Chains A and B, each alone.
Chain A
Amino acid sequence: MRRPGDRLHRLATTLCTERTRRRLIDPAIADLQSEFAVARRAGARWHTGRALARGYVSIAKVLVIAACGDLWAEASAWQPAERASARRGLLVALLTTAVATVLLVATFDSGIQTNWRLWGYLVPSMLTVALPLGLLIGSAWTFHGGGRTRKLAAGCVVAAVLCSIAMYGNVSWLTPESNQTFRERAFEQNFGPRDTPLERGLYELTMPDLRNRIEQELATGHPERAHVAESVYYQRLVAAVSMLPMVGIILALAFRREWTRGWLIGAAVVIFGVYCAPFVSSRPLSEALSIAPIVTTWTGPALLTGTALLLTLRRPRARA
């Protein structure tokens, strides 16, 4: 029979040290189970539901505090083998990101002749694709064999969160500005200087400007144009929030399924495909099927998050 808190108990086993789990999480879950059993025996359905809701919230709080405490304690004491694994993973991630960025910039076709000196302005927009790939391949490279430790996993989660924050800054402000600079310089090179600045396209608008554009298009009776702008808006958010679920899947596969490096890299490529899908397909899909852009754009990240949670929370298969 499944009791309330069983899943959280399993999650705590993954996230926390045994000492922390036994001292902080288990007592909280045991109290919840006891409170639930008492309420159920009394037959008070409302009280049972209330006890469950309050218990789950409190355990979630304890879990977050305990996991953060454990992370902090563990982050300060790394073994030499873990340092070496982390270094290798970081190197692979940086190398993958750099190579992917260079390849994407070099093969980018702007439609007009551009000087290689302008390539630097394309780097921020290419990082939207290259950085997640680097993070995924780096993670897949790190978590195999002896590299499968909780400290490295914690480091990887922190890296994913930092990448998410950096990505949000990149897609919100840096990429629009660098895209616009690229367009103006490229125009200048081909057609000479202009008196007025080039009008910004959707990809050259910062997040607040893009939101204003959506409202403006809706107010002036152009819902189809608003939909296109909305797609771009959500795509940027997707780029920022997808890092953690993507890394979560790699970690779950590495720790719970004990996949080898080759399989993990294969999984990383598939996950990357799911990440990229909304950028390519959300707009045409939204237009063809008349679905709101929010649905088509967020399907990929929802799928990634669902898979990460399922793999993390599901009981691993018993070995023969």
Chain B
Amino acid sequence: MPPRSAHPPRLSLKESLIVELLLRDAELYGLQLVAASRGRLKRGTVYVTLGRMEDKGFITSREEAPPADEGGLPRRLYRATPFGRHVYEAWNMAAAHMALRYAR
């Protein structure tokens, strides 16, 4: 359930890119998102952006089982929520509308 707010949800360029990548590939790790973004997302900030997007309800995540042979921490997989998809589509529609209206 997305958090209730007095303002309409906003999607930054990075957030929009992440939702787009997640909608394309269903579930991805943070590093896979960085690789798929072709330099538009940075390793140092992607996890912070993902955490913020989870707070906003745009994406959700789950922990994978830790690798049995090597141990280590469990990796986290991210996926877009229906709310995230909805906001992403609404923003894209708004952008397309603005482009049509104000394009010269």
Residue of B42, B45, B73 contacting most chain A CB atoms (<10 Å): B73
**CB closest residue in chain B, given A5:** B73
Cβ–Cβ contact B51 & A31, under 8 A:
no
A29 interfacial by beta-carbon distance below 8 Å: yes
CB atoms of A31 and B45 under 8 A apart = no
Interface residue A81 (Cβ < 8 Å from any Cβ of B) = no
Expressed in whole angstroms, the Cα–Cα distance for A24 and B51 within the complex equals: 6
**Is B3 in contact with chain A by the CB < 8 A criterion?**
no
Q: What's the Cα separation between A55 and B71 when bound, in Å?
A: 18
- Interface window among A56-64, A195-203, A231-239, A256-264: A56-64
Docked-complex contact B72 and A3, CB < 8 angstroms: yes
User: A24-B48, A27-B30 given as contacts; is B75 within 8 A of A3 (CB)?
Assistant: no
Q: How far is the CB of A53 from chain B (nearest CB, A)?
A: 11
> Which single member of B44, B54, B67, B71 contacts A62 (CB below 8 Å)?
B44
Decide: B75 and A34 in contact? CB cutoff 8 A. yes
Given A27-B30, A31-B29, A34-B67, verify A58-B44 contact (CB < 8 Å).
yes
Q: Does B31 contact A (CB under 8 A)?
A: yes
Interface residue B10 (Cβ < 8 Å from any Cβ of A): no
Q: Determine whether the beta carbon of B72 is less than 8 Å from that of A37.
A: yes
B72 touches A65 (CB 8 A): no
Of B31, B51, B67, B74, which contacts A35 at CB under 8 A? B31
Residue of A1, A3, A9, A27 with most chain B CB atoms under a 10 A cut-off: A27
User: For residue B29, which residues in chain A have a CB less than 8 angstroms away from its CB?
Assistant: 27, 31, 34
Chain B neighbourhood of A26, CB < 8 A: 73-74, 76
Nearest CB of chain B from residue A73's CB, rounded to whole Å: 12
CB pair A61–B31 under 8 Å, yes or no, is no
Chain B residue numbers with a CB within 8 Å of A92 are: none
Which of A1, A30, A54, A65 has a CB less than 8 Å from the CB of B76?
A30
Chain A: interface size category: 20 to 34
Which residues of chain B are within 8 angstroms of A37 by Cβ–Cβ distance?
A: 67, 70, 72
User: By the criterion CB–CB under 8 Å, are A33 and B43 in contact?
Assistant: no
The answer to whether A28 has its CB under 8 Å from any CB of chain B is yes
Q: Which of B42, B50, B54, B75 has the most CB of A within 10 A?
A: B75
CA distance A33 to B72 in the complex (A): 7
| Shortest distance between the CB of B71 and any CB in chain A (Å) | 7
Question: A23, A30, A54, A66: which contacts B75 (Cβ < 8 A)?
Answer: A30
Distance to closest chain A CB from B59 (angstroms): 12
B69-101: CB near A (< 8 Å → 1, else 0) gives 011111110000000000000000000000000
Nearest CB of A to B65, in Å: 11
Nearest A-chain residue to B74, judged by Cβ: A30
A193 to B84, CA, bound (A): 79
Which residues on B sit within 8 Å (CB–CB) of A9? 73
Q: Which of B43, B50, B54, B72 contacts A54 (CB 8 A)?
A: B43
Write the chain A residue with the least CB distance to B44: A61
Q: How far is the CA of A40 from the CA of B72 in the complex (A)?
A: 15
B25–chain A nearest beta-carbon distance, Å: 16
7 A–B pairs (Cβ distance < 8 Å), ordered by A:
A3-B70, A5-B73, A23-B54, A27-B29, A29-B73, A34-B29, A60-B44
The 6 lowest CB-CB distance pairs between A and B, nearest first, are A61-B44, A58-B43, A27-B76, A30-B73, A33-B72, A31-B31
User: Apart from A31-B75, A57-B44, what 17 extra A-B contacts exist at CB < 8 Å?
Assistant: A3-B71, A3-B72, A5-B73, A23-B51, A24-B51, A26-B73, A26-B74, A26-B76, A27-B30, A27-B47, A27-B61, A29-B73, A31-B30, A33-B72, A34-B67, A66-B48, A69-B48
